[in-house]
Amino acid sequence: MTFEEIHQKLLAKFPQAVQGIEETVPEKSLKIHPEHIVSVIRFMKDEMQFETLGDLCGLDYPALSASCVAYHMQSYAHKKVVRLKCYLPREGAAIESVTSLFKAANWLEREAFDMFGIRFNGHPELRRILCPEDWVGHPLRKDYQTPDYYNGMPVPLYFDNPNESTAGNAHK
Amino acid sequence: MSTTHELVEGHLSQSLENLRTDELLLNMGPQHPSTHGVLRVVVTTDGEIVKAAKPEIGYLHRCFEKHSENVDYMGVAPYVDRLDYLASMNNAMGWAIAVEGMVGIEVPRRAEFIRVITAELQRIASHLMSFGTYGLDMGAFTAFMFGFRDREMILDIFEMMSGARLLYNYMWVGGVSRDITPEAIAKIKAFLDYFEPKIDEYNDLLSFNKIFIERTKDVGVIDVDTCHSYGLTGVMLRGCGVKWDLRKEVPYSIYKEVEFDVPVGSGEMGTLGDCWDRHIVRMREMKESVRIVRQLIDNIPSGPHRGKVGKVVKVPAGESFSRTECPRGELAFYIVSDGSAKPFRVRCKSPCFLNISTLDELTRGVMVADLIATIGSLDIVLGEVDR
C-alpha cells in the first residue's frame, strides 16, 4: 500500500478530515483536521491494518503560530509507517485523546503535554511525566526560557558566554 | 480451666480480629537494585499481592531533544550514545542512518561491514548485561559474574576500535570514526570462538535451571493485542511469538546480505509471552548475532571507512522517521529539518519508554516477587526511558 493509496482511501472515507499532503522529503505527511483525528485513527486501525501507534509527539511552529501533534501509524502487515499531522492554535492547544484506541498514547500524550503544553481531552491522568510536577513552563516550546531558580535552587548554566560553544546555547 | 490449646486458639482469633488488612503503599526506588536504574515504582500492596504498580520516571531526564535543537547534526551523535548506554553503538547507528537518509549520503561498503559487526557485538554485550542482571534479580549471582566477564571482552574490543569503553562516538554520519585494525579483527574472531559455546553453558546454568523456570514461567504474560496496543517492539513482541525483526522485514545497512534467524517465544515452559520466553529470545538472539559477525568478519572489503562528508553536515529541509532494531526494540528518530545547520526538531521514540508503561497492567494482582521478575524481563535502561 503506497502513500498515495492511503491518502486516497482516507480522502474517500473522510473528505472533510484530510486537509492535504505535506510534500516533505524524504517522507510525506498527511494533514488531518484535529476534530476528526480519533475517527481517522480508528479507521486506520480497524480497516487498514495499521495495528500500532508507533509514536506520538508534539511540535512547535512559532512562525506559523501553531502547535502540532504528529502521529506515526505503524503497520506490520504493510511494513509501513504513515505520519499524520494535526495543526492546532499555538495558545491553548487542545485535541481529543487517542488513549481509547491505543494504551501507548497514555504516556506519549503525557509527554507531549509536559513538553509542549498541548492538552488532550479525555486523557485519564494528564500530568507531567519527565519534568517534576511543579515545573513551570513547557521546555520544548521554542520560546521557552530556562528559569533562574527551581524551588530556591539555582538552575546551572554551564557556559557564561553562549556564543563560545554550541552546547551553551541549549539554555538560551 | 481452659486447656493450652484453647488458650492459643482464643489468642489467635483475637489477634486475627485486630489484624490490619488495609493496603500498604510501598515506594520502590528510585535507588533500588532491581529497578535497573533510577526508576521509582509506587506499589500498592495487599499483603504479598500487588494491587497497583505505578512507575514514576524522569529522574534521568537530560533534555536530549532540547539539546539536539541547539547543536548541529554531528554534534547530536555523542548525545545519542548516552540514551541507551548499554547499546551505544546501536543508538548511534540509528542516528547516523536517519541523517544519511535525509541527506542522501552513500556509506562506503567497508564502513557498512564495520557498522554491522560492531552493532551485533554490542547487541551481544547488551543481552549479556540483561542475562546477568536478570539472573541477579532471580537470586542467581553466578550469571551476573559470567555476563560481566564476557561483556568486558567486547568492551575491550570496542576500546581498541574507538578508544572508549562505554560511550564510543564511533558511528559518524557517512561511516565510522576510525578504521578497523587487523588486531581488532583477530580479537573479534578469538572472542567469537570463545563465546559461542558459552551461550549453551549459560542456558544450562540459568535458562534451564529449575528454580529460574519456576520463577519466570507464566509470569508477566503479554499477548499480541497488548503488544500492539502499547506499541511494544523488539524482544517484547518476539517473545509472544510474532516473527518481526526490522533487520529482516525492513532491512537497512547490509542486513539483507547476511543470513540469520529470528528467534521467537513459543511458550516452551509455560504460557506464550511470559518472562521466560522473553529471556530465551535474548539468549538465542546472541547466537544469531555471533552468526552474523562470523559471516562478515572475514569478508570486510577494502576501501575508505568514511564517505565524503563535510565538516558540517548540510541537511535539506524535510522530515524523516527512521527506525532501527536495537537490543531493546525499535528505536526511531523523527527529524524535522528546516534546512539550517541545526535540527528544527529531533524526536527520539524510545522502545523502553513504552515497555515500562506496561508495568501496571502486567503486575495487577501478582505476588511482589513476580513484580521483580517482570521488571527484569522488560530489560529497561532508564537512560533511554527518560532521555
User: What's the mean per-residue pLDDT of chain A?
Assistant: 85
Q: Averaged over B324-336, what is the pLDDT?
A: 92
CA distance B54 to B33: 18
Per-residue pLDDT of B97-109, as tens digits, reads 999 988 888 899 9
CB distance from B248 to chain A under 8 Å?
Answer: no
Is residue B98, in this structure, part of any structural domain at all? yes
Q: How confident is the model at residue A151 (pLDDT cuts 50, 70, 90)?
A: confident
pLDDT on residue B12? 67
* ipTM here: 0.86
Contact at CB, A129 and B57, closer than 8 angstroms: yes
DSSP string of chain A, one letter each residue: --HHHHHHHHHHH-TTTEEEEE--SB--EEEE-GGGHHHHHHHHHHHS---EEEEEEEEEETTTTEEEEEEEEEETTTTEEEEEEEEEESTT-EEE--TTT-THHHHHHHHHHHHH--EEET-TT---SSS-TT--S-TTSTT----SEETTEEPP-S-SSTTT-TGGGGG-
CATH number of the domain enclosing B184? 1.10.645.10
Range of the domain at B322: 53-386
CB distance from A83 to chain B under 8 Å?
Answer: yes
Is residue B19, in this structure, part of any structural domain at all? no
Is residue B327, in this structure, part of any structural domain at all? yes
CATH class of domain segment(s) A3-141 = alpha beta
**Interface list for A 6-65 with B (CB within 8 A):** 22, 24-27, 29, 51-55, 57, 59-60
Is residue B59, in this structure, part of any structural domain at all? yes
Q: How confident is the model at residue B200 (pLDDT cuts 50, 70, 90)?
A: very high
Is residue B36, in this structure, part of any structural domain at all? no
pLDDT on residue B47? 82
Contact at CB, A107 and B353, closer than 8 angstroms: yes
Strand-pairing partners, residue A153, are A150
**Between chain A and chain B, how many beta carbons pairs sit less than 8 Å apart?**
105
Structural domain count, chain B:
1
Interface test with B, best of A30, A73, A83, A129 (most B CBs within 10 A): A129
- Whether residue A165 has pLDDT greater than 80: no
Q: How confident is the model at residue A171 (pLDDT cuts 50, 70, 90)?
A: very low
Count the Cβ atoms, other than its own, within 10 Å of residue B211: 11
For the record, the C-alpha cell of A77 comes out as 502487515
Contact at CB, B65 and A102, closer than 8 angstroms: no
**Interface list for A 98-137 with B (CB within 8 A):** 102-104, 106-108, 115, 128-132
Please, are residues A155 and A148 in contact by the beta-carbon 8 Å criterion?
yes
Per-residue pLDDT of B141-178, as tens digits, reads 888 899 999 999 999 999 999 888 888 989 888 889 88
- Whether residue A111 has pLDDT greater than 80: yes
A103 contacts in chain B (CB < 8 Å): 226, 229-230, 357-358, 361
Per-residue pLDDT of A51-100, as tens digits, reads 899 899 999 998 888 999 999 999 998 888 999 999 999 888 889 999 99
- Whether residue B5 has pLDDT greater than 80: no
DSSP string of B176-207, one letter each residue: ESSPPPHHHHHHHHHHHHHHHHHHHHHIIIII
Residue with the bigger pLDDT between B212 and B30: it is: B212
CB distance from B307 to chain A under 8 Å?
Answer: no
**Of the listed ranges B2-11, B134-143, B144-153, B263-272, the one predicted with least confidence:** B2-11
B316 contacts in chain A (CB < 8 Å): 25
pLDDT on residue B128? 92
Is residue B156, in this structure, part of any structural domain at all? yes
pLDDT on residue B287? 92
Mapped to the 3 state alphabet, what secondary structure does B85-125 carry? CCCHHHHHHHHHHHHHHHHCCCCCHHHHHHHHHHHHHHHHH
User: What's the mean per-residue pLDDT of chain B?
Assistant: 88
Is residue B112, in this structure, part of any structural domain at all? yes
Per-residue pLDDT of B23-71, as tens digits, reads 888 888 787 776 677 888 899 888 888 888 889 888 888 889 988 888 8
CB distance from B10 to chain A under 8 Å?
Answer: no
